Each structure stands twice: as C-alpha cells, then as structure tokens.
Amino acid sequence: MGQGLRMPDSTDVIDRASVFKQRRLLLTFSFALAAIHALDVQLSGNVTAQGLVLTFQHPQVLVIVLWIAWPWSLWRYWQYERHYADGVLFTAREAVAMRICEGEITKRIQEGVKQGHYTGQLVRESDAVTVKIPIGEQFTEYRYAESEWVFPNLNLYVQKPDHGLSGPVQGGANCSFSEEEVGRMKRSIELELIRRNPSFADFKAPYWIAMVAPLALLYQHLWPVVSCHWSWLGSKWMQQNCSL
C-alpha cells in the first residue's frame, strides 16, 4: 500500500498563508537570479537599510548566496505545498480521476465485450456498455497514491437504443491498471487540473516559474557562444556569396 498524502488537521502549523509565504520566497529568489543573469543587473557594493549604509567589498558573493537559497526555498515550498495543497485539493483531483479512470475502464471492458468475453453474462458482442466505479471502490488519498490500481467490483451496464442504461449486469466486471498505465493517467489528471482549476494552478505553477533562474543562468553563459557561432557562420556565408 503506497503512502498517501495526509490531510492537515487542527494541530498543523501549516496553513494557506504559510504556503503562500513560501511561494513568495521562492519566486523572489527566482526572479532576482533571473534578473541578474538574463537582464545583466549589476550588483552595487552599497546597500542602505534603515538609514545605515552597508558596504560589500565583494558584492558578487551575494549571487552565490542567492543560489544557495534558491534550492532551499524550492525544497521548502515543495514540503509546504505537498503537505497542505494536495490534501485540500484532493476533492477536485478525485472528481477528475473518477471521470478519466471510468473512461479508461469502459474502453477496456468494451474491447472485451467485442471479443465475446462477456457473453456468459448475456452481453452480446455488439452491445455498447458503460462501467461505473461503485461507491466503496472510489478513490481515497491512499488509493490514489498507489502505483497500481485494481477495481474488482465494477458495475456494468448495457446501453439501450434510447441512450438509457439497463440494470446492472449480473457478475459485473473487474479491471486493473499497471504502474505505467497509472502513471500515464495521473499525468493526464494533473494536467487537466492545472488547465481548469485556478486554485490548483496557484499551487503548481510556481514549480515551473522557478525554472526561470537556471534558464537565465544558461542563457547568460550559452548565448555569447551561440551568438558568436552564428556570427561566424554569417560571415562565412557572406564571404562565399560575395566571392561569387
């Protein structure tokens, strides 16, 4: 049994304000580093704090300090976000997971119907079916965290010509998903939540935004090399065309 995400209780010191505080800290370090590396911001040797002038003999050391603080703030935000946000938003995740999972189960069972696997339950090969996960088998935080999903007691229905459903087919159906299949469905669930649930995006977007810091560092060191290379190729092209 995989370890699920724990819902915060009244004794937890981590609340929504604490998560947002860690988010602000992470984004502050990320944007500061991005400005230094990508926008060529120059660090001053003097800093004024409450009327006092602090002089830094080696202001570039501040960049090193920021790079030490950046992974620490990312790790801290991950801890707070995982503890609080995932539990609070599980209701939204559960609804999306149920819909996507029932769709995948229905497709798999429908293939079995076409191959005649359910004729013993009086389901014809030409029948269209719908599968529902019973209440007792629905997702919990612990079940969602498992690497493999098994559904042994599914409700199986045959669709009627008037688009209604028959009564439950006796014997029902069962279905299981491998670790690879579960991973694929979880990625689809998370992407849909990010696209359609503003609260979910508020908690997950900082992971992507924080990447501006390392990308800016790469830009600072790689762009001069790439620019020089393209300039050299451009000059060679000009020489060849001018010689013609």
pLDDT, tens digit, 9 for 90 and up, residues 29-68: 999 899 888 877 666 666 665 666 666 676 678 888 889 9
Q: Domain for residue 137, yes or no? A: yes
pTM above 0.75, yes or no: no
One domain, residues 192 and 210: no
Residues 60 and 129 in one domain: no
Whether residues 28 and 44 fall in one domain: yes
Q: Are residues 73 and 112 in the same domain?
A: no
- CA 242 vs CA 201, 230, 232, 236, 239: distances in Å: 54, 18, 15, 10, 5
Predicted pLDDT of residue 109: 92
Residue 1 lies in a domain: no
Quote the pLDDT of residue 191. Answer: 87
Domain co-membership, 121 together with 85: no
Starting at the edge strand found earlier in the chain, the sheet holding 173-177 runs 129-132, 149-158, 173-177
**Is there a domain that residue 83 lies in?**
yes
Query: Which pLDDT band, with edges at 50, 70 and 90, does 225 fall under?
Result: low
CB-based contact 137:110 (threshold 8 Å)? no
One domain for residues 209 and 138 = no
Mapping DSSP to helix (H, G, I), strand (E, B) and coil, where does residue 54 land?
A: strand
**What domain range is 168 assigned to?**
100-196
C-alpha to C-alpha distance for 177 and 205, rounded to whole angstroms: 29
Domain contains 128 = yes
| Same structural domain, 172 and 206 | no
Q: Are residues 41 and 79 in the same domain?
A: yes
pLDDT in tens, 69-102: 999 999 999 988 888 876 777 888 888 899 999 9
Residue-averaged pLDDT of the chain? 80
Counting the structural domains of the chain, the total is 2
Residues 51, 131 within the same domain = no
Q: Please tell me the distance from the alpha carbon of residue 68 to that of residue 98, in angstroms, as a whole number.
A: 41
Q: Is the same domain home to 20 and 71?
A: yes
- Both ends of the chain: CA-CA distance in Å? 73
- In which band, very low, low, confident or very high, does the pLDDT at 107 lie, cut at 50, 70 and 90? very high
Cα gap 210→71, rounded to integer Å: 10
Would residue 78 count as lying in a domain? yes
Could you tell me if 110 and 158 lie in one domain? yes
Are residue 160 and residue 174 in the same domain, yes or no?
Answer: yes
> Is residue 136 scored above 80 in pLDDT?
no
